[in-house]
């Protein structure tokens, strides 16, 4: 499956479309949403240049992701020209993929609560290095 975009967002024959059924609970639609999401929420999105949350939003946009991108942060109304929502629960439709850019202390953010990420089927986590 090839998705449009200048950065080549795609899942090739080695990707999720070669997994016709889950293997020990892995694969199937959940893996498809991780490898070829139709929409992305970025929790911890920021307006501050040079921050992990701002860089992640910019990379997704500049990379040509073809679907909706939803910045999530209660501090901002807009990030990189996109409407920002305070929590994942306030998205009109759940995102396929939620990227967490919440820093080294995610326990202090509402996004770290299991109930707030339940609306996204795929939630990889990452923190900047070195931790701040």
pLDDT digit string (tens) for 17-67? Answer: 444 454 455 556 667 777 888 999 999 999 999 998 999 999 999 999 999
Could you tell me the CATH superfamily of domain 38-117? NAD(P)-binding Rossmann-like Domain (3.40.50.720)
pLDDT at 115: 44
Domain extents in the chain: 38-117
pLDDT digit string (tens) for 59-103? Answer: 999 999 999 999 999 999 999 999 999 999 999 998 998 898 886
Looking at the predicted structure, is the pLDDT value of residue 120 above 50? yes
CA distance 98 to 124: 7
CA distance 109 to 111: 5
Count of CA atoms in the C-beta half-sphere (13 A) of 120: 31
CA distance 85 to 13: 35
Q: What DSSP designation does 69 have?
A: E
């Amino acid at each position: 499956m090839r998705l449009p975009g200048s950065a080549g967002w795609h899942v090739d024959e080695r990707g999720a479309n070669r997994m016709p059924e889950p293997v020990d609970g892995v694969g199937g639609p959940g893996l498809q949403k991780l490898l070829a999401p139709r929409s992305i929420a970025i929790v911890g999105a920021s307006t501050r240049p040079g921050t992990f949350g701002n860089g992640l939003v910019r990379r997704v946009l500049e990379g040509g992701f073809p679907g909706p991108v939803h910045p999530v942060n209660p501090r901002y109304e807009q990030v990189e020209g996109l409407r920002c929502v305070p929590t994942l629960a306030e998205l009109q439709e759940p995102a396929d993929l939620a990227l967490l850019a919440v820093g080294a202390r995610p326990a202090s953010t509402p996004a770290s609560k299991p109930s707030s990420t339940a609306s996204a089927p795929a939630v990889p986590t990452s923190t900047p290095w070195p931790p701040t």
